[in-house]
Structure 1
Amino acid sequence: MSKFFGYILSPVFYIFFGLSLCIFHPIQWMCFKLFGYKAHKVSVDILNFFLTYCQIFLFNSINFKNEYDLPTDRPIIFAANHQSMYDIPSLIWFLRKHHAKFISKIELTKGIPSISINLRLGGGANINRKDNKQAISEIIKLGRRMKDNNWSTVIFPEGTRAKDGQLKTFQFGGIATLLKTAPNALIVPIAIENSWKIVRYGMFPLTTGHALKWTVLKPIEPTEKNANDITLEVESEIRKVLNQENETL
């Protein structure tokens, strides 16, 4: 039934999702050019509110759970599993006070309304996966911006989307590189559940009736821990949440 309703509701979802991207593209540009970073960020936050709650057109619910009082006066590295592109708008919206940045493929900086302009202007790292030197350089620059501005970065240590929802082995390179330039960054795991189900049949039809969940887990202080140990701990904590979810199905 979820797939059946997806044939009906996916076009409605795409219309509103696409309209949001198109409407906010010129708004972002004007905010940045006329008023600078702060105004641009507000426009991006509002855009991602609409992108997040476009899920109502698919009858998917949004549940972002955070029981921790996370600081805003130090950098944070949010490390999450990655299931679909729909993970990202909610992370931007619900983590907005932490100025969450992303490490993105450089190919995404062109041709996509709102998304490309945000990647170019928003302060994240746009990397060429075929050029390791360029990628490391961009991540180091991002780490410096984190340190200077008390920004946060969201990274997906799996390196790619888990299209079947099964957690892949985490890689420690991203956390290690960011900690070199922002050694006081707090590490915060986030477990993402069920967003892979939306795209289990690809771009069309999207499926309906899912409980989408983002759960902020206990922060990890990097003191006296190396990046490999931190990454293993992050993976372990996220895996516990995902396994609990599987046990209830």
Structure 2
Amino acid sequence: MNKFLGYIFTPVFYFFFLLSLLIFQPIQWICYRFFGYKAHKASVDYLNFFLTYCQVFLGSSTTFVNHQDLPLNHPIIFVANHQSMYDIPGIFWFLKKYHVKFISKIELTKGIPSISFNLKYGGGANINRKDSKQAVSEIIKLGRRMKDNNWSAMIFAEGTRAKDGRIKPFQVGGIATLLKTVPNALIVPIAIENSWKVVQYGTYPLSFGEKLRWTVLDPITTAGRNAEELTNMAEGAIRKALNQEA
């Protein structure tokens, strides 16, 4: 039934999703060019509010659980599993007060309304996966911005999407590189559920009536721990939350 209803409601979802991207493209440009970082960030926050709740047009629910008392004046590295592009808007919106910046493929900085503009000018790291030197340099620059501004970063440590929802082994590289610049950063795992189901049939139809859920887990302090240990602890916490064994 969710596939059948998807055929009907996917065009409605795509219409409002794309409309949000098109409307916020000039809004972002104006905010960034004339009013600076704070205004630009606010425009991106509200863009992601609309992108997050576009899921209602697919009959899907959106639940974000965060019982953690995370510091606002301290850099944080959020580490999550990755299931689909629909993981991202909710993280932007619900964690907006932490100034979360993403590590993204450099190819995404061109051609996508609103999204490409934010990736270029929002303060994240845009990496060329074929150029390891450039990738490390960009992540180090992000780490410096985190340190200077008490921003946070979001890392999907699997390195690619898990299309069936099964967690892949986490990679240590991005976390290790950031910790070289911000060694005191707090590691905070996030368990993402069911966004893979939205795209289980591909881009059309999208699945109707799924229950998307993000859960912020207990923070992990970096003191006395190396990057590999921290990565393994984050992966273990997410696997436990999602009842998935290694």
What's the TM-score bracket when you normalise by the shorter of the two chains?
Answer: over 0.9
Corresponding residue number in structure 2 for 1:77:
77
Corresponding residue number in structure 1 for 2:210:
210
Cα shift at 1:86: 0.2
Corresponding residue number in structure 1 for 2:67:
67
Matched residues in 2 for 1:109 and 1:13: separation? 23
Structure 1 residues 152-197: Cα deviation after superposition (integer angstroms, max 9, x where no partner): 0000010000000000000111111001001111000000000000
Cα shift at 1:241: 1.3
Matched residues in 2 for 1:200 and 1:211: separation? 13
User: Where in structure 2 are the equivalents of 1:49-198 lying within 5 Å?
Assistant: 49-198=49-198
SS in 1 for 2:143: helix
Q: Which AA in structure 2 matches 1:76? A: I
Cα shift at 1:105: 0.3
Cα shift at 1:121: 0.5
Matched residues in 1 for 2:67 and 2:135: separation? 34
Cα shift at 1:242: 1.3
SS in 2 for 1:243: coil
Query: Over aligned residues, Cα RMSD in angstroms?
Result: 0.9
TM-score by length of 2: 0.99
Does residue 6 (structure 1) correspond to residue 6 (structure 2)? The answer is yes
User: Where in structure 2 are the equivalents of 1:23-42 lying within 5 Å?
Assistant: 23-42=23-42
Structure 1 residues 185-219: Cα deviation after superposition (integer angstroms, max 9, x where no partner): 10000000000000001110000111110000000
Matched residues in 2 for 1:139 and 1:167: separation? 24
TM-score by length of 1: 0.97
Matched residues in 2 for 1:8 and 1:39: separation? 37
Matched residues in 1 for 2:234 and 2:43: separation? 31
Matched residues in 1 for 2:203 and 2:36: separation? 35
SS in 2 for 1:26: helix
Q: Which AA in structure 2 matches 1:158? A: E
Q: Which AA in structure 2 matches 1:183? A: P
Q: Which AA in structure 2 matches 1:241? A: A
Matched residues in 2 for 1:237 and 1:24: separation? 36
Q: Which AA in structure 2 matches 1:206? A: L
Matched residues in 1 for 2:241 and 2:56: separation? 25
Does residue 201 (structure 1) correspond to residue 233 (structure 2)? The answer is no
Corresponding residue number in structure 1 for 2:238:
238
Q: Which AA in structure 2 matches 1:120? A: K
Q: Which AA in structure 2 matches 1:34? A: F
Give the count of matched residue pairs.
245
SS in 2 for 1:72: coil
SS in 2 for 1:86: helix
Structure 1 residues 85-129: Cα deviation after superposition (integer angstroms, max 9, x where no partner): 000000000010000000000000000000000000000000000
The runs of 5 or more residues in structure 1 that have no matched partner are none
Q: Which AA in structure 2 matches 1:146? A: M
Q: Which AA in structure 1 matches 2:100? A: A
